[in-house]
Amino acid sequence: MTHILVVDDDKQLLRALRIALTARGYEVSLAPDGTSGLLAAQRGPLDLVIVDLGLPDLDGVRVVEALRGWSATPIIVLSARLTEESKIDALDAGADDYVTKPFAIGELLARVRAALRRSVPVEQIPIVRTDAFTVDLTARRVLGADGTEIRLTPTEWHVLEMLVRNPDRLITHRQMLHEVWGPRYETETNYLRVHMANLRRKLEPEPSRPRHLRTDPGLGYRFTP
């Protein structure tokens, strides 16, 4: 579910936003000041952050800057300040949007949708991680746990890609042979054995005890992140 963090010291507004956002199907976290907001942001991945500029401990601009230090999550800034400078400062610090209080809740929700829509291309990069390796499907690259590149042959990549695109789902011998080698090779399960062995040798910490590239005896193979 889409996860939104709201940082604001106005209890009443916080409650109103929680209700409005939850009603739209967002998962909402709340933080009453900048420090706890940053802590909450570090705890888990967020899809959007809404920050008030007037916080009791930190200036909201500081919060935006801190967040931008390590995260690309979209940020919407709220503020009662009317001066132009504060808007500019916040946007230049890395905020994605700026809403002046008082605002209509419907407008804020529209801006939330716009910000989330924009961030989709960034978020949805197909990268699959396990504790042993990372598969970047767009770059066609596999990195080991230590970040070194692991080189795969064309067939190995094709097999791995098919498994990784269907996490936790069983891929039958037939399906895989059909997709990778073609319709006429659906009985050549030998091929699978050899190439799966090679993949495991390159990717699994203990190739003989595979934890991510698993075998379903008699049926096929399965990737578990």
Partner DNA sequence: CCTGATCTTGATGACTTCTTGACGACGTCC
Partner DNA sequence: GGACGTCGTCAAGAAGTCATCAAGATCAGG
Interface residues toward its own copies, by CB under 8 A:
72, 84-85, 87-88, 91-92, 94-98, 104, 106-107, 109-111, 113-114, 117-118, 121-122, 138-141, 151, 153-154, 157, 168-170, 216-219
- The verdict on 144 binding DNA (CB under 7 A) reads no
The DSSP bridge pattern shows strands 141-144 and 133-136 to be antiparallel
CA nearest to 78, candidates 59, 109, 50, 119: 50
Which of 124, 208 has the CB closer to DNA?
Answer: 208
Element (H, E) at 138: none
Residue 181 binds: one of DNA, its own copies, none (C-beta under 5 to 8 A by kind): DNA
CB 78 within 8 A of CB 50: yes
C-alpha Rg value of the chain to the nearest Å: 24
182: left (phi over 0), alpha (psi -120 to 50) or beta: left
**Binding residue for DNA (CB under 7 A) from 153, 169, 211, 224?**
153
Contacting DNA (CB under 7 A), which of 130, 196, 203, 212? 196
Q: Residue 13: exposed, middle, or buried by beta-carbon count in 10 A (0-12, 13-18, 19+)? A: middle
| Minimum CB distance to its own copies, residue 12 (Å) | 20
- Rule CB under 7 A: which residues touch DNA? 151, 153-156, 173, 181, 188-197, 200-201, 207-208, 210, 215, 217-219
